[in-house]
Amino acid sequence: MNTDGIMDIDANYYKPLMVVVRAEDAGMSVRAIVERRLGVSRSLLSRVKLTEHGITVNEQRVYTTATVAEGDIIRIRMEQETSEDILPEPIPLQIVFEDEHLLILNKPPGIVVHPTHGHYTGTLANGVVYHWRERGEKVRFRPVNRLDEDTSGLVVVAKSPYIHQQLSDQLQADAITKRYAAFVYGVPPEQAGTINEPIDRDPDSPHVRIVTPDGYPSVTHYEIAAEYGDGAASLVRLRLETGRTHQIRVHMKYIGCPLIGDAMYGLPPEAGELCAVWEQAAGRQALHAEMLGLTHPMTGQWMEWRAELPEQLKLLEQLLEQKQESEPEAT
């Protein structure tokens, strides 16, 4: 036993989740209690019960069907994991928040979140794995949300399977708030509105997404924050209700307001000299995940983080404001 009266457990486990059985829970099964009190999924329970100390009652290994009495202490332990397939690299990280459960990062543009075919190194994951190794933490890289390579802004990474499951459930229930800022051509038809149009792959180009009646439900809420040059462009703030690939970019193009700098869904090269200046200033699609809000799975506290516009988009904003002050030019 250690000084807390808890059996010394192999260091390969994360700090356990713990439930003290209340009077009204007496006679219930371990599975029923941890599902109700902690929201532990059945798939996660199936994983932990295979390990020696995965599920215990009063530090004795039990099956999930075991019944418990008032005052019993249930502990759920998950084995520590590392991302063995991700090469640690000393990549600069903009860490907004970190505790033993969560890591919130402000991702710069031009970096992929997770290694994929053709991007095995130089990704956000490579930098995070290096960061944890330097801190002596055994953690697997588990991003909860992802951003396109050329989209900047806030990304949340879970530091255990339980935290990842809990945040994924929040994401699925639209309980995580994700707000974006986008500079677009033109002005949306309403000051504030909702784009509820299904999205799927373009059958002629699998990397491209399109609005199609047979697509997956996709909902984007928007609000106009500023207009420039007599309607030549605008700053739009958006909130995602769903999280389809390229959703904002596809939906804004659909309503006639493609993102400035978007090579895949934006304007053609012959759009005009002024547009070319804006495109060059943005350097990529002018989209930034500026706010993220969620309920911390361990404390139950609502938390929010914000990331200001990166310098490139600040420059673009200045150019658009200059356009607003001058006579509109044909684009």
pLDDT (tens digit per residue) in 300-321:
999 999 999 999 999 999 999 9
Is residue 78 a contact partner of residue 142, using CB atoms and an 8 Å limit?
no
Q: Does residue 5 register a pLDDT over 60?
A: no
Q: Name the pLDDT band for 223 (thresholds 50, 70, 90).
A: very high
181 contacts: CB under 8 Å, gap ≥ 6: 225, 235, 236, 237, 238, 287, 288, 290, 309, 313
* pLDDT per residue as tens digits for the range 105-123: 999 999 999 988 777 899 9
Instruction: Return the amino acid letter for 189.
Output: P
Q: Where is pLDDT greater, at 220 or 42?
A: 220
Could you tell me what percentage of the chain is helix, strand and coil, using 3-state DSSP and rounding each to the nearest 5? 25, 30, 45
Q: How confident is the model at residue 325 (pLDDT cuts 50, 70, 90)?
A: low
- Determine the Cα–Cα distance for residues 246 and 151; give it in Å rounded to an integer: 10
The DSSP call for residue 12 is T
CA angle 206, 207, 212 (to 5 degrees): 65
What the block records as the tokens of 273 is 């000299």
* pLDDT-based confidence at residue 229 (cuts at 50, 70, 90): confident
Average pLDDT over residues 220-242: 94
CA distance 330 to 243: 35
φ/ψ (deg, to 5) at 184:
-125, 160
**CB neighbours of 61 closer than 8 A, spacing ≥ 6?**
52, 53, 54, 55
**148 annotated active-site:** yes
* Whole-structure pTM value: 0.87
The answer to whether 281 and 264 are in contact (CB under 8 A) is no
**What DSSP assignment string belongs to 49-84?**
TTSTTSEEETTEE--TT-B--TT-EEEE--B----T
Would you state the pLDDT for residue 267?
A: 74
Q: Which residues pair with 57 in a beta bridge?
A: 60, 74
CA 315 to chain centre: 26
Average pLDDT value for the chain: 91
Q: Among 148, 200, 214, 262, which one carries the catalytic annotation?
A: 148
Residue 173 tokens, joined: 């229930």
Q: Which two tokens stand for residue 61?
A: 């290994």
- Judged against a pLDDT cut of 80, whether residue 174 lies above it is answered with yes
Strand ranges for the chain from DSSP E: 17-20, 55-57, 60-61, 73-76, 95-98, 102-107, 142-143, 152-158, 177-185, 192-196, 199-202, 205-211, 219-228, 233-240, 287-295, 302-306
How far CA 162 is from CA of 16, 56, 80, 125, 177, in Å, comes to 10, 17, 12, 19, 20
Going by the DSSP 8-state scheme, the letter that residue 24 receives in this structure is G
CA distance 24 to 280: 64
Gap between the Cα atoms of 169 and 18, Å rounded: 20
What is the pLDDT at residue 328?
Answer: 47
**Inter-helix orientation angle 311-325/273-282, to 10°:** 150
